[in-house]
Amino acid sequence: LHFLYKHTSNPLRLIPAAHPLAPWTSLWISYIRWSGRENRTLKEAHERLGAVVCLGPGEVSVNCVAGGIREIYAGGFEKGIEEGQRGFNWYGFFANYGGVDNMFSMGPNKPHSARKRMISNIYSKSVIITSPALLTQTISILKSRFLPILSSRSAFSKGDDPTVVNIIPILNAATMDIVTAYIFGLKSSSNLLNNPKDLTWFLDLYNSRRSFNFWPQEYPKLTSWIRRWTGYRLVPQWVDAANAEIEKWTMGMCKRAGSLALQQQTYGINVEDSPSVLQQLSSSLLKQSLKDKPAPTADPAANAREMQKMARTLELTTASEVLDHLAAGFDTSSITLTYAVHELSQNQDIQSQLRRELQALTPSSTRLPDPKTLDAAPFLHAVVYETLRLHSAIPGPQPRVTPTHGCKLGSGASEFYVPGGVRVSASAGLLHMNEDVYEQADEWRPERWIDLHKLSEEKRKDMESRWFWAFGSGGRMCVGSHLAIYQMKYILYTLYSTFSTSIVDDTNIEQTDAYTAPPGTDELWIKLERL
C-alpha cells in the first residue's frame, strides 16, 4: 500500500519511463550505472521516448535546451541542497583531504559562488590570452620537453623505433605539466614529460580510482555505514592510499610554490615561475578568513590555537581546490587531444588542411605563434570544437537537484511538472547528437564549424552555444575552458606544424561509458613523420 500510494502520488509517473521499473524504484538505474551502461542506456531511452525521461521515482533525464538545460543549469539548480548537510550531492565525492570541499564538490550555490568569484578572473579568456607567465610556461614545456620527446627515441617509443610512439601518456604529461605550471609556476610544478617513472606512478594512482566511483558516489552513506559496522570495504584500501598519495603530491607542489613566493618578495622571480592560480586563490582565501575570524579573546594561548587552526584550514582548502583543478584540467584536455590526434591521423586530407593553416601562422620555425593569432586560426578552432563535440571528455549526466517549489521540464504536450528534491540531469554526449543542429552528428566533420557567419543567426547560436555543451553551462560551468582550449591549441600546433601522424595501433580506442570518458585503452600508437 505504501509503494502504491507513493507511486500514485508521484508526478514523475506521468513522464515516459526509461524502464517499466523506473517509476517504482531507483534500483534499475543504479544497476545500469553499476554495470557501466548509463550513457548508452540514456541515449536509447531519449531516442525512444523523447526529450524528458523518468529514470527512477526521484530522477529525470532531459535532452533539450528549452525546458531542459536552460531551466536546470542557467536556472541555477543546485548540486546539493543544504549547506553542511550533504543530502544528495553526487559531487561530494570530489572533496579532497578527508572531506575538504572545493568549488566542484560543493553542493549549495552560495558558498560555491563565493569561491568561484575568487578564481574565475585568473581563468578568464582575457587573462589567459594575455598572461606572460602562461605563455612562457607553455613555450618552455613544448619546446624543451614535448618536442624533444617526439623527435628522438624515448620511453614512449615502440622499441628502438623513435617514429612510433604511444601518444596518450605524452598528452597526459603535457597537459598536466602546463596546467600545474599555470597553477604553481614552472619551478614548483610537475615535470612528467621528462620523468616517465613519475608519470607512470601518477597515472597508475589516478586511473586505479576510476573503477571504484560507483559506491561512494551513488551510495555514500551506505558505503561508510557498511565499512563502519561490518568492516567490509566496498572501495579497496589501496584506492584510499592512491588518493592520499595524490594529495601528498599536490601539497608538495603547494608548499614549494609557497616558499618560492616568499623568496619572490625579497629577490623577485622569473615570470615563468610565478604561481598565477595559487597566488590569486590563497590571497583571496586569506582575505576571507581574516574577515570571518572570531574576535580575539583575553587568552593568548586560545588565540594562538585559533590562528593555527585557521592556517591549517587555509592550507587544506587551497590544496583541495588546486588538486581538483589539476585533475579536471589534465584528464579532460588529454582525452580531447587523444581523439583529435586519432581523428587527424585517420583523415590525412583534414590533417594537411590543418597543417597548411598552422605553417602559415609563424614565419620563423623557432617561435610559436602568439596566443591571439593561434586562437583566431579558424581550422584549428574547428578541429578542437568538433572533437569536443563528438568526443566530449565529460559526455555523462551532470546531476542537479530541483528547487523546493519544483519546476516544469520539457515543452508543449511533453511538458511535465517535477517536484522539489528530484535529481535531474542532461548529458553533453546526447545534446551533441542532435541531427537538427549538427547534421550527420555521429561523424567527425570539422568543416561544419567553418564559415558559421554564412548560417542564420539562430542556427549559429544553436551550434555554438545553445546545444554545444562540452563545458556545461550556467554558474557551475567549467572554469578552466579557456585554459583548456589554449593548451590544446598550442599542443596541436606544435605537433602538426612539425610532424605528420598516422595510426599504427588504435585497438580499444572507443570512449568508455562513464561521466568522464577516457578511451578504453591507455595506448594509441601513432607513426610520426617529421616534415
Instruction: Report the interface residues with ligand HEM, using CB under 6 A.
Output: 103-104, 116, 123, 179, 324-325, 328-329, 332-333, 336, 393-394, 398, 470-472, 476, 478-480, 483-484
Residues written for the chain:
531
C-beta of 157 vs 318, nearer to ligand HEM: 318
C-beta of 468 vs 471, nearer to ligand HEM: 471
Q: C-alpha cell of 140?
A: 618552455
Min dist CB 118 to ligand HEM, Å, is 11
Min dist CB 337 to ligand HEM, Å, is 8
C-beta of 80 vs 169, nearer to ligand HEM: 80
Query: Alpha carbon 528 to chain centroid distance?
Result: 28
Q: Name the closest residue to ligand HEM (Cβ).
A: 480
Query: Alpha carbon 515 to chain centroid distance?
Result: 10
Min dist CB 463 to ligand HEM, Å, is 17
Min dist CB 108 to ligand HEM, Å, is 12
C-beta of 157 vs 427, nearer to ligand HEM: 427
Min dist CB 364 to ligand HEM, Å, is 29
The span from the CA of 473 to the CA of 160, in Å, is 46
The span from the CA of 511 to the CA of 210, in Å, is 14
Paired strand residues for 503: 526
Min dist CB 94 to ligand HEM, Å, is 9
C-beta of 169 vs 480, nearer to ligand HEM: 480
- Helices 167-184 and 237-267 pack at an angle, to 10 degrees, of 50
Query: What CA dihedral angle connects 128, 132, 134 and 138, to 10 degrees?
Result: 130
Query: What CA dihedral angle connects 156, 251, 112 and 203, to 10 degrees?
Result: 20
DSSP reduced 3-state for 62: strand
C-beta of 150 vs 394, nearer to ligand HEM: 394
Residues 6+ apart with CB under 8 A from 87: 80, 81, 107, 401
Residue 70: DSSP 8-state: I
Contact indicator for 426, 469 with CB cutoff of 8 Å? yes
Min dist CB 412 to ligand HEM, Å, is 28
For residue 415, how many other CB atoms are within 10 A of its CB? Answer: 12
C-beta of 24 vs 471, nearer to ligand HEM: 471
Min dist CB 181 to ligand HEM, Å, is 12
C-beta of 2 vs 110, nearer to ligand HEM: 110
The span from the CA of 193 to the CA of 188, in Å, is 15
DSSP code per residue over 251-311: HHHHHHHHHHHHHHHHH---GGG--HHHHHHHHHHHHHHHHHSPPP-S-HHHHHHHHHHHH
Give Rg (Cα) of the chain. 24
- Asked whether residue 64 is marked as a ligand-binding residue, the answer is no
Which residues make up each annotated binding site? 478
Which residues make up each annotated binding site for heme? 478
